[in-house]
Structure 1
């Protein structure tokens, strides 16, 4: 049996990734939400991020690994809100080393679908309880995670700065094209 198609939406905070993931789920696609947000919403999650960024990265890795493995159970295409290289980008931004298990996952547990980048988009950027970065920090985060994806051999495809329906159509067209290449 062929490996399931694992597609990713990456980019800095506040670029419409989760909104796009929700819209794709509403269209019937299997999706995985952003693990960092889930951790931040847990009791002590914000403190973990603030006080122990390495521990926060470890928690993200554990959750991302579980999400990656769920694809093997379902066997259908899945769209992820971020992936392993996003953790590397976070660690680099924090000036921290990348633990070997995270580096190994980035090298060996591959996403085989398109990797979409939601570029910084000032018009939609908003801070919230979990999105604590200011605009400049959000842009730096985007640069760090995109560099990490490229360092691990991916070529992120920029999403258009357009409404959700247009972004959904863009993603679906690229996923269809990628599926056709595998035939």
Structure 2
């Protein structure tokens, strides 16, 4: 069995991460999803993730095959939840953002490894409340987060020039 693990993203991973993000943008666009079609996430987002120690890469046979940011700080977009309430509104939470798997590895269930590792990392940092948002038409992501027990809590507005409305989800462990 190949080695599959999560590690902190490093500067030398930038090209691989940007390629994975580009492939995800193409995939989302082909599916009719406007998410990530306004130019973000871009290198500036990924650089900030790396600089702030929030970026993580999924490794498979010593190759970068996935990326996600796990942020241990409140997200300003989540301060104003529409059409719902957070289950643990006042509890500290970690946010999962910018999740993508390489097109070469899509369909191999590696996103489950990625999420499992992200949640384990969060728990190790004493976080038991996780939040994520995605576009209403992003069925692959919604299916993945439902598999992990995330519950839809409402909607948030994010920085997106095309369509800023996102469904917001929460998981409490």
Same fold per superposition (TM over 0.5): no
- Select the structure with the greater relative contact order (CA < 8 A; seq sep ≥ 6): 1
**Hey, which of these two has a bigger chunk of helix by percent?**
1
TM-score by length of 2: 0.31
**Hey, which of these two has a bigger chunk of strand by percent?**
2
